[in-house]
Structure 1
Amino acid sequence: MRASRLVTLLLLLQDRGRMTAQQLAEELEVSVRTVYRDVEALSTAGIPLYGDAGHAGGYRLVDGYRTRLTGLTEGEARAAFLAAVPGAAAELGLGEALAAAQLKLRAALPEPLREHAGRIQERFLLDAPGWYGGGTDRTPHLSAVAAAVWERRALLLRYRRWRAPEEIERRVEPYGLVLKAGRWYLVAAGPSGLRTYRVDQILGLRPLEKFAARGGFDLAAYWTSQLAGFRARLYTAEALVRLTPEGARRLGVTPTSHGWTEARIPIESIDHAHGEFLRLGTDIDVMAPTELRDRIAATVRALAARYTG
C-alpha cells in the first residue's frame, strides 16, 4: 500500500510541478505527517526532489527529472478504456483505478500533450445516462457480472423477463457488457445461443466454473447486428403524414418547402404512433393509415369535449 502511495506521490509531482504538503495530503487522503515521511523515504531512495520553505513553497522534482514508473496495473488498464465514461467505471468498481490510470498516463506524456489532455478534461464531459434515470443503484449485481465477464466464469442467473414465466433460472456464459443509454446489458451464451440480458433485471446470481469462450466472437459486431435486427422488428409499418416546418424539424425530416412537407414515417404500431404523433399537436396531419387517422381524430374530439364542456 505504501509503495503504491509513494509512486502516486512521485507522479503527482512530475505531473503538476510544485505541490505543498497539504495539497499532497489531500490528493493522497493521508495526513501531512505521512506526506513528510513519504517525501523523506523518496529522498533516501535517491529521488531528486526538494522542498521550498515559505508561504509559496512546496515540494518539487529537480528540473528535467522524469520517472519511468508509469506502467499500468491490470485494473488501471481496464479503467483507462472507460475514461470517457467515468460513471461507468465507478459502477464497475474501477473508479480508483481510473484515477490512478489517468495520473500515470498524464505523467507519461510530454508537457505539451499533458496540457492538451488537461484542457480536454476541463472542457468535455460525457454523461451517458438519460435524464430520467434514478439516483439509486438499480444494478446491484453489476460488479459481480463484470467480474464474471473478466474471469470468463459462468453464472447461474435468476432473471425477470417481460413474458411468462416472468421469473426464470438459467445458466449463462458471459461474453461482454454493453452500456446503452445509461442501461447495462449482458451478452451471454445460454441454452438457446447468444442472448442479451438487462443487468437491472437480474434478481440474483451465483458464480460457477470457468468456461472456454468461443473463438472469433466480436462484441461490437454482435451488438451492431442486434440493433439492426431490433430496428427491423420495431418498425413494421409506415404512416403518410404532412408536416409543418416545425413538425419536420422535430421528426428529423428535411422540409421540401416553407409550407407543408409530405413524408412517409416508419412506425412501430398504431398504438405507439398514436401517442408519438399527438405530441406534435397541430404540426402534423396524419393522412394514412386510416385507422391511425381515425384514432387521432377521436382523441382530439374527446379532448375538445373535455376542455370545452
Structure 2
Amino acid sequence: MAAAILAAMRASRLVSLLLLLQARGRMTAAELAEELEVSVRTVYRDVQSLHEAGIPLYGDAGHEGGYRLLDGYRTRLTGLTADETQAWFLAALPDPAAQLGLGEAAAAARLKISAALPPALRERAERVRERFLLDAPGWYGPDEQVPHLPVVADAVWNRQAVRVRYRRWREPAESDRRLEPYGLVLKAGRWYVVAHDGRERRTYRVDQMLEVCVLDETFAAPPGFDLAGYWREYLAGFHARLHREQALIRLSPRGAERLPALLSRAVARAVAEDGEREPDGWVRARVPIESVAHAHGEFLRLGADLEVLAPDPLRELLAESARALAALYAPPRATPPPPPTPPR
C-alpha cells in the first residue's frame, strides 16, 4: 500500500514537472525544486526518468541554462476564447477549494490548463492572476472553521444521506437530523448545504454541524432540481422575511451622512428615497427593521445622531440604554470632607 502511494505521488510530480516546463518554458533545477517542494537531487532523478520515457526534454548548461522541452511539444487546449480563459481563472478561488479538500487538485488543474493554453491566452490568464484577487469572506469576524465540510461535500457528490448533530439558535439548542444533501452553496464566505430533512427542503449552515455521519443510504434528487434556481428563490424569500416591521426615525445631518457606512442598505435606501428634510436640517423617514431587538443594536451605532419616534418599545429600549450609559460614564461624586474634630 505504501509503495503504491509513493508511486502515485512520484507519477503526479513527474506530470507537474512536465506541465511546469510546458507552461513556463526554460526553468532551472533549483526553480523546479522550489515549485515542486522537493530537493534538487530529486529533480535530477525526475528529469532523467522523463528523458528515459521518451519525453523531448533537454538541459542547457551555463548561466542562462536550465531544462526545456522541445519546441512544439505540448498538448493544446482548444475551444477556449480569451474571455472564457479570463473568466475561468477569475472563478478559481483557492480558499474554497482548500476548504473542500481540493486545494491541491485545483492548483494542479490551473497548472494543466495554463500549460495547455496557446501562448496568447496563457499570457492573458497570467495577467488575470497577477491583477485580480477574489476574497469572498467579510471583514468582520474570524475565518469560519468548517471541519465537516469535506465529508458533507463527499456526501453531496455521491448522493449519500447523512446524520448530523446540528446547533440551532433557538431551543432545543442541538438536534439530530437525517438529511439528504442536494448541494453546497458558498455565500459571503460561509458554506450552506441545501438538504431534505424528511419533511421539507431546507438550508443548513455547515459550520453549525457538530457531528456528521455518512449513512450507507443513497438517494435521488427530485427530477429537475436546479440548485442555482433554488438559491435564487431562497434569497428572495429571505429578504422578504428579513424586514417585516418598520420604525419612524429622525437623523441629524451628521447621522444621515454616516448612515450608509453603519446601517443596512435597506435602511439607507429608505432614507434616500422617502426621507423628508425638516426645518432644523434633520431627516425624518420610515425605515424597515428586522425586529425591535435587532434595530436596538443597529441604531445604537449612530448614538445621538438618530432619534426613534416609533414604535414605543424600541424608543423605550434605546432610552434605557442611554440611561445606563449615562450612569456608567457619569463623573464620580465628590466625597465631602470629614467634619472638624471638636476641641477638648
Residue 181 of structure 2 is matched in structure 1 by: 174
* TM superposition shift of 1:81: 9.1
CA shift in 2, pair 1:170/1:279, >3 Å: same
Residue 281 of structure 1 is matched in structure 2 by: 303
Q: Deviations over 1:49-103 (max 9, x none)?
A: 3211123311112333323599xxxxxxxxx799543111111100100110000
Given the alignment of the two structures, is residue 88 of structure 1 paired with residue 96 of structure 2, yes or no? yes
Residue 145 of structure 2 is matched in structure 1 by: 138
The one-letter code matched in structure 2 to 1:169 is D
* Distance (Å, rounded) in 1 between the aligned partners of 2:163 and 2:297: 39
Using the aligned pairs only, state the percent identity: 66
Q: Deviations over 1:103-151 (max 9, x none)?
A: 011112222221221122222222223334446x732211111110111
Residue 196 of structure 2 is matched in structure 1 by: 189
CA shift in 2, pair 1:147/1:206, >3 Å: same
* Structure 1 outlier segments of 4+, above 4 Å: 80-83, 255-259
Q: Structure 2 residue aligned with 1:30, among 38, 58, 69?
A: 38
Q: Structure 1 residue aligned with 2:260, among 238, 245, 249?
A: 249
* Distance (Å, rounded) in 2 between the aligned partners of 1:270 and 1:168: 28
Residue 116 of structure 2 is matched in structure 1 by: 108
Given the alignment of the two structures, is residue 291 of structure 1 paired with residue 291 of structure 2, yes or no? no
* TM superposition shift of 1:43: 2.8
Residue 65 of structure 2 is matched in structure 1 by: 57
Q: Structure 2 residue aligned with 1:3, among 5, 11, 14?
A: 11
Q: TM-score, normalised by structure 1?
A: 0.86
Q: Structure 1 residue aligned with 2:25, among 5, 13, 17?
A: 17
How many residues align structurally?
299
Contact kept, 8 Å, 2:138 with 2:189, in 1: the verdict is yes
The one-letter code matched in structure 2 to 1:187 is V
The one-letter code matched in structure 1 to 2:260 is R
Contact kept, 8 Å, 1:7 with 1:69, in 2: the verdict is no
Residue 308 of structure 1 is matched in structure 2 by: 330
* Distance (Å, rounded) in 2 between the aligned partners of 1:6 and 1:225: 47
* Distance (Å, rounded) in 2 between the aligned partners of 1:132 and 1:305: 30
Q: TM-score, normalised by structure 2?
A: 0.78
In the alignment, structure 1 segments of 5+ residues that lack a partner are 71-79
* TM superposition shift of 1:301: 3.7
Q: Deviations over 1:172-211 (max 9, x none)?
A: 1110111222222111111211111221222222222221
SS state of the match for residue 165, structure 1?
A: coil
Contact kept, 8 Å, 1:241 with 1:262, in 2: the verdict is yes
Contact kept, 8 Å, 1:239 with 1:265, in 2: the verdict is yes
CA RMSD in angstroms, aligned pairs only: 2.6
CA shift in 2, pair 1:113/1:203, >3 Å: same
Q: Which has the larger radius of gyration?
A: 2
* TM superposition shift of 1:215: 1.3
* Distance (Å, rounded) in 1 between the aligned partners of 2:299 and 2:142: 27
* TM superposition shift of 1:273: 1.0
* TM superposition shift of 1:289: 2.4
